[in-house]
């Protein structure tokens, strides 16, 4: 009310106002310039960075796993394939409470503690965000339906169809083909960048056998798919796709039929049988008994099953054919005889008297012959046919360890055979240097004498023995054994390791001796060789498991079953044009002639006499399977989703 006392100066008020407006105008322009510069800086100067960031936001690279190559036997029979299997998996990022979700799942489908343990282990392991972690494999139709019905309360739970490796023949090829299994932490940690990318969507890798040694070929090459995702990582569309290159198929030299014959022949005995195609070095059959079902390992073996396998006294997980090291015993005698002839230590007519033992001068020790009464007058032929130990004690002593070592090495003794299977052991064909290095002891003459009959330090795997006898059958052409015949139809050529040069007449002589082992009336394996429509050659062996003390009588009855001698046999057939060479070891089989040789005879018969489908049908069969597969391998197939489906 008293405001009228102060006179308003309208002119000044207006001028002040205009001045202030001008001031604010400058402020406005200044601040606008700041804004514009800010946007200029974001949109023009740093555009590239933000464009990249924006793409990184929305573009996810998914790997598309190739389909693993199939494995066929020599006749085109499928030995390893990929079958769709329904997997229950969880995407942890989409689950609020993982424990509760698992509890809920347990009320719907069978989920046991080991499944849950494995799940949490995978959860902790190396993984990409939003990648599904499997909880249960091999869901039944009923279980899939139950999950589908309850989908609304199972956020982050998904059922995926995935191809899972399957081995139709089960235990028959457990050691040779091996199996694929879940990649473990140690394997993940040892992977390089490339491998991590490769295995992201697969979870499995070849663990043993061909699956391991041919991993790269069977695997193929991963493809990639750039997908656009939203902020919740839901895949909206595929931007770019590079298809995977499918794994290559393997065809083996192995003949399922022969393999089955070997397994049947071994029965429930522990042992190994290796059969090699003499012409190519191809492995026709490789058996280690007992075996196990490799399918157990593919999706992760249960603790119970694994412990049962691991704790079994028969050690089924152990591959006797490649890793079992046995004294080769008398099976080395043909090779030793050949060595003596070709080193001119003996001649074909060289004879000694065998009193049943051998003794060095100035030494009390008796080196006993297996036949206490001795074999009388023996030459090299008779020594092989009747397996005279005394003759070979004498021969070994006269030849000396160095020449024995060198000659034997040419047959692959003491060396890895180079077979295309992993984890092969090298055996032992001793030398002076070896003993000095490992035992810090000089070589004694007694060592040489024991070596002459394949005892003492000598150790060989069944595969090495098979390689040795193949080399004999090939008259010195030492081939590298190979399991795989062809990769995607492309034949792998035979590999010659070396050629042993010696007089042909010596080979003939050894062949004849080995033939007489099988066919002569005094041959050690005459029973195994009887009534055959073809001629075969062989040599029995009996390896001591427990050393027999001097003057102690060998009494097999008293020994526990597992202390009995190992029965061995090597041989090939037919004599004139050898096709198949075989080595057999039966653990605690006691007698090479009684136990091992009949198994080899069955192998010979099966390979040489059994009528198989002709080569033509074989090819047709294989191509049919291939056609079936290529129809299935289409990534658009509704049945099988390849690669990770990490997001939805």
Partner 1 sequence: MLAYNRQDFIRRMPEASHDLRRRRSFWRVVHLDPILLLLLLALTTFGLVVLYSASEGNSSLIKRQVVFFTIAYIGMFTVAQIRLDYFSRWSVLFYLGALGLLVLVLFFGVGAKGAQRWLSLGSIRFQPSEMMKLAMPIAIAAYLSNKSLPPRFKHVFWSLVLVAMPTVLIVKQPDLGTSILVAISGLVVLFYAGLRWRYILSAVVLLVASIWPMWHYVLHDYQRRRILTLFDPEADKLGAGWNIIQSKTAIGSGGVDGKGWLDGTQSHLDFLPESHTDFIIAVLAEEFGFMGVLGLIVLYLLIISRGLFIAINAQDSFRRLLAGSITLTFFVYVFVNIGMVSGLLPVVGVPLPLVSLGGTSLVTLMLGFGLLMGISTEPPRITHNR
Query: What's the min distance (Å) between Cβ of 157 and partner 1?
Result: 23
**Comparison of 62 and 417: residue with beta carbon closer to partner 1:** 62
Q: Min. distance of Cβ 151 from partner 1 in angstroms?
A: 23
On whether the CB atoms of residues 416 and 426 are closer than 8 A, the answer is yes
Structure tokens at 539: 């040599």
Comparison of 26 and 496: residue with beta carbon closer to partner 1: 26
Measured from the CB atom, is 9 or 347 closer to partner 1? 9
Question: By C-beta, is 31 or 619 nearer to partner 1?
Answer: 31
169-208 footprint of partner 1 as x/- string (CB under 8 A): ----------------------------------------
Question: Do 401 and 430 form a contact (C-beta atoms < 8 A)?
Answer: yes
**Complex with partner 1: residue 26 or 125, whichever CB lies closer:** 26
DSSP 175-193: TTT-EEEEPPHHHHHH--H
Q: Looking at beta carbons only, is 57 or 423 nearer to partner 1?
A: 57
The answer to whether 54 is a known catalytic residue is: no
Instruction: Tell how strand 71-72 and strand 250-252 pair up.
Output: parallel
Provide CB contacts within 8 A for 589, sequence distance 6+.
269, 271, 564, 565, 566, 567, 595, 596
Which whole-number Å values give the CA distances from 481 to 201, 284, 418, 638, in the listed order?
34, 10, 7, 42
Q: Shortest Cβ distance from residue 156 to partner 1 (Å)?
A: 18
Phi, psi of 151 (to 5 degrees): -55, -35
Closest CB 130 distance from partner 1, rounded Å? 14
Cis peptide before 290 (omega within 30 of 0): yes
CB 528 within 8 A of CB 597: yes
Nearest Cα to Cα of residue 132 among 86, 92, 102, 96: 92
> How far is 208 from 292, CA to CA, in rounded Å?
13
Residue 359 in contact with residue 393, Cβ under 8 Å? Answer: no
Q: Which of 74, 180, 214, 231 binds partner 1 (CB under 8 A)?
A: 231
- 431 to 450, contacts with partner 1 by CB under 8 A? none
Cβ neighbours around 461 below 10 Å, total = 28
Residue 181 Cα distances to 88, 164, 334, 379, 544, angstroms: 18, 10, 43, 55, 38
Site string for partner 1, 40-79 (x = CB under 8 A): x-xxx-xx-xxx-xxx-xx---------------------
Binding mask 210-229 for partner 1 (x = CB under 8 A): ------------------xx
Number of Cβ atoms within 10 Å of the Cβ of 349: 8
Residues in CB range of 66: below 8 A, 6 or more apart: 219, 220, 221, 222, 223, 244, 245, 246, 247
List, in sequence order, every beta strand (DSSP E) within 405-558. Answer: 477-479, 484-487, 490-491, 496-499, 537-543
Minimum CB separation of residue 20 from partner 1 in Å reads 5
Residue 57 vs 312, nearer CB to partner 1: 57
Q: Which is nearer to partner 1, 6 or 186 (CB)?
A: 6
Question: Which listed range, 16-24, 314-322, 366-374, 418-426, lies at the site for partner 1 (CB under 8 A)?
Answer: 16-24
| Beta carbon of residue 31, minimum distance to partner 1 (angstroms, whole number) | 5
Where do we find the tokens 């996810």? 60
Overall residue count recorded for the chain in this entry: 648
How many CB atoms are located within 10 Å of the residue 600 CB? 32
Nearer to partner 1, 165 or 225 (CB): 225
Among 174, 227, 232, 572, binds partner 1 (CB under 8 A): 232
Site string for partner 1, 578-607 (x = CB under 8 A): ------------------------------
Question: How many residues at the interface with partner 1, by CB under 8 A?
Answer: 47
Minimum distance from residue 236 beta carbon to partner 1 (Å): 7
Residue 23: CB minimum distance to partner 1, A: 9
The residue among 7 and 152 lying less far from partner 1, judged by its C-beta, is 7
Q: How far is the CB of 91 from partner 1 (least distance, A)?
A: 17
Return the range that interacts with partner 1 (CB under 8 A); candidates 20-28, 399-407, 476-484, 592-600. 20-28
Q: Which stretch binds partner 1 (CB under 8 A): 31-39, 242-250, 277-285, 287-295?
A: 31-39
Geometric angle at alpha carbon 94, from 93 and 95, rounded to 5°: 95
Separation of alpha carbons 511 and 504, rounded Å: 11
Structure token digits, residue 140: 């039944």
Cβ proximity of 328 and 540 under 8 Å = no
Minimal CA–CA distance to 264: which of 599, 497, 6? 599
Task: Pick the binder of partner 1 from 31, 149, 239, 609 (CB under 8 A).
Answer: 31
Q: How far is CA 112 from the centre of its chain?
A: 30
**Which of the ranges 2-10, 182-190, 211-219, 629-637 carries the binding residues for partner 1, by CB under 8 A?**
2-10
Query: Catalytic pick from 85, 256, 330, 583?
Result: 330
What is the number of other CB atoms lying within 10 angstroms of the CB of residue 329? 28
Q: Is 238 in the site for partner 1 (CB under 8 A)?
A: no
Q: What is the largest CA-CA distance in the chain?
A: 156
For residues 111-140, which are near partner 1 according to CB under 8 A? none
Asked if residue 574 has a cis previous peptide bond (ω within 30° of 0), the answer is yes
* Closer of 10 and 437 to partner 1 (Cβ): 10
Closest separation between CB of residue 225 and partner 1, Å?
Answer: 17
> Shortest approach of partner 1 to residue 228 CB, angstroms?
7
> Minimal distance in Å, beta carbon 125 to partner 1?
23
Contacting range for partner 1; rule: CB under 8 A; set: 6-14, 78-86, 438-446, 537-545: 6-14
> Up-side HSE of residue 364: CA atoms within 13 Å toward CB?
2
Question: Considering beta carbons, is residue 55 or 433 the nearer one to partner 1?
Answer: 55
From the list 21, 145, 149, 239, which residue makes contact with partner 1 (rule: CB under 8 A)?
Answer: 21
Residues that bind partner 1 (CB under 8 A): 1, 3-4, 6-14, 16-18, 20-21, 24-25, 28, 31-32, 34-36, 38-40, 42-44, 46-47, 49-51, 53-55, 57-58, 228-232, 236
Which are the catalytic amino acids?
330
């Amino acid at each position: 009310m008293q405001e009228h006392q102060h006179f308003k100066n309208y002119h000044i008020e207006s001028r002040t106002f205009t001045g202030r407006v001008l001031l604010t105008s400058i402020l406005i322009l200044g601040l606008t310039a700041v804004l514009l510069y800010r946007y200029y800086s974001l949109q023009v100067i740093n555009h590239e960075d933000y464009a990249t960031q924006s793409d990184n936001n929305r573009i996810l690279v998914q790997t598309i796993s190739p389909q693993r190559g199939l494995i066929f036997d020599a006749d085109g029979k499928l030995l390893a394939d990929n079958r769709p299997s329904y997997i229950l998996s969880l995407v942890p990022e989409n689950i609020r409470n993982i424990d509760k979700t698992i509890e809920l799942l347990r009320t719907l489908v069978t989920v046991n503690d080991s499944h849950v343990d494995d799940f949490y282990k995978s959860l902790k392991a190396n993984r990409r965000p939003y990648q599904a972690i499997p909880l249960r494999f091999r869901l039944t139709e009923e279980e899939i339906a139950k999950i589908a019905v309850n989908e609304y309360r199972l956020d982050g739970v998904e059922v995926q169809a995935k191809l899972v490796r399957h081995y139709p023949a089960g235990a028959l090829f457990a050691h040779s083909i091996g199996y694929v299994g879940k990649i473990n932490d140690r394997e993940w940690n040892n992977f390089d960048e490339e491998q991590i990318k490769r295995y992201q969507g697969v979870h499995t890798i070849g663990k043993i056998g061909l699956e391991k040694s041919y991993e790269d070929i069977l695997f193929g090459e991963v493809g990639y798919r750039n997908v656009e995702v939203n902020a919740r990582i839901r895949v909206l569309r595929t931007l770019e796709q590079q298809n995977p290159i499918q794994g290559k198929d393997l065809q083996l030299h192995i003949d399922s039929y022969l393999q089955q014959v070997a397994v049947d022949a071994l029965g429930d005995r522990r042992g190994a049988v290796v059969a090699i195609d003499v012409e190519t070095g191809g492995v026709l059959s490789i058996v280690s008994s007992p075996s196990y079902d490799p399918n157990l390992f593919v999706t992760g073996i249960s603790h119970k099953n694994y412990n049962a396998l691991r704790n079994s006294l028969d050690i089924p997980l152990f591959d006797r054919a490649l890793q079992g090291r046995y004294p080769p015993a008398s099976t080395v005698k043909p090779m030793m005889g050949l060595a003596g002839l070709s080193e001119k230590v003996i001649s074909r007519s060289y004879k000694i008297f065998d009193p049943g033992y051998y003794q060095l001068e100035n030494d009390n020790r008796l080196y006993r012959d297996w036949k206490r009464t001795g074999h009388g007058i023996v030459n090299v032929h008779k020594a092989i046919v009747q397996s005279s130990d005394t003759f070979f004690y004498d021969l070994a002593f006269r030849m000396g360890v160095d020449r024995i070592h060198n000659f034997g090495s040419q047959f692959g003794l003491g060396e890895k055979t180079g077979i295309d299977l992993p984890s092969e052991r090298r055996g032992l064909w001793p030398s002076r240097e070896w003993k000095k290095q490992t035992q810090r002891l000089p070589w004694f003459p007694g060592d040489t004498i024991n070596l002459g009959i394949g005892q003492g330090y000598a150790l060989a795997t069944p595969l090495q023995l098979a390689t040795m006898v193949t080399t004999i059958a090939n008259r010195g052409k030492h081939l590298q054994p190979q399991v795989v015949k062809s990769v995607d139809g492309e034949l792998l050529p035979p590999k010659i390791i070396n050629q042993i040069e010696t007089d042909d007449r010596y080979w003939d002589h050894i062949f004849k001796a080995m033939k007489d082992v099988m066919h002569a009336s005094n041959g050690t394996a005459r029973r195994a060789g009887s009534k055959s429509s073809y001629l075969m050659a062989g040599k029995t062996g009996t390896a001591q498991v427990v050393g027999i003390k001097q003057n102690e009588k060998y009494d097999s009855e008293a020994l526990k079953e597992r202390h009995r001698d190992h029965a061995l046999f090597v041989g090939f057939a037919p004599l004139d044009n050898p096709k198949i060479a075989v080595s057999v070891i039966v653990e605690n089989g006691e007698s090479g002639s009684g136990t091992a040789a009949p198994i080899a005879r069955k192998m010979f018969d099966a390979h040489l006499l059994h009528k198989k489908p002709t080569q033509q049908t074989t090819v047709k069969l294989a191509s049919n399977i291939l056609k079936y597969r290529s129809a299935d391998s289409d990534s658009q197939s509704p049945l099988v989703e390849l690669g990770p489906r990490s997001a939805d």
